[in-house]
Amino acid sequence: MHTIACHTPGVMFRRKSTDRTVVMALEGPLNSWLNEGNQRALGALRRNREWGIEAAEEWFFDQDTALLTFTFPEREIVTPFQFLGSHNAKTGTWMWAWANDSIDPRLKADSMALREVGELLGHQIFTERILNVSEEDADCVALLALKESSHDGLYKAPDGEHVTFLSFGQPFSP
């Protein structure tokens, strides 16, 4: 399990690679969203520990079934999930799930709803397909997305220099 870690709101030590628009949104009008997303993530982290997700040997998601699976030697935990977005450490960019054509539309519904909120409220951070965001600030952007997600769980799915951020629901054992 890769822990989500967002800088404390109000502390201006963001990485230089993060767009100024993103920094201003995180430190300003979206600060309360960030706090709420952070609270949801803390609750999710507690549940992840209760379910033992951090000790999973493997994980995988299946777009056909819309299920995220964590595999352990003695059991599996399966849960519904949504794509929120992804971060590429090499390029220092965040891409919203709604902008990714390789994702099944039903698995990016939360991201698409967030884009609509961004359009309604004029939050450019939610309506730009790709943002220049440091690795550290990608966690913050994911927390903003979690605030509006239909799920409470948050998982950083690593794949080399690329990390996909997933929200997930109540796990169950098949």
- pLDDT tens for 64-80 read 999 999 999 988 989 99
Residue type, 168: F
The number of domains in the chain is 1
* Reported confidence tier of residue 36, pLDDT bands at 50, 70, 90: confident
Residue 41: inside a domain, yes or no? yes
Residue 92 has pLDDT above 90, yes or no: yes
144: nearest Cα among 46, 1, 2, 4: 4
Question: Among 4-8, 65-69, 114-118, whose mean pLDDT is lowest?
Answer: 4-8
Has residue 51 been placed in a domain? yes
pLDDT at 127: 95
Q: Name the pLDDT band for 37 (thresholds 50, 70, 90).
A: low
Range of the domain at 51: 20-168
Highest mean pLDDT out of 26-30, 78-82, 120-124, 166-170:
78-82
Q: Is the pLDDT of residue 48 over 60?
A: yes
Is residue 8 situated within a structural domain?
no
- Within a domain: residue 11? no
Angle at 158 between CA 49 and CA 94, to 5 degrees: 110
User: Which pLDDT score, from 0 to 100, does residue 11 have?
Assistant: 41
Q: Of 30, 33, 77, which Cα lies nearest the Cα of 57?
A: 77
In a 13 Å sphere around the CA of 125, the CA atoms on its Cβ side amount to 26
Which residues are registered as beta bridge partners of 62? Answer: 67
Which pLDDT score is estimated for 173? 65
Phi, psi of 84 (to 5 degrees): -100, -45
pTM of the model: 0.83
| 64 assigned to some structural domain | yes
The answer to whether residue 27 sits within a structural domain is yes
Within a domain: 174? no
Low-confidence winner among 14-18, 78-82, 94-98, 125-129 (lowest mean pLDDT)? 14-18
- Asked whether residue 88 is assigned to any structural domain, the reply reads yes
Question: Residues 98-123: what's their mean pLDDT?
Answer: 93
What b/e readout covers 58-85, taking b as 16+ CB neighbours within 10 angstroms? ebebeeeeebbbbeeeeeebbbbbbbbb
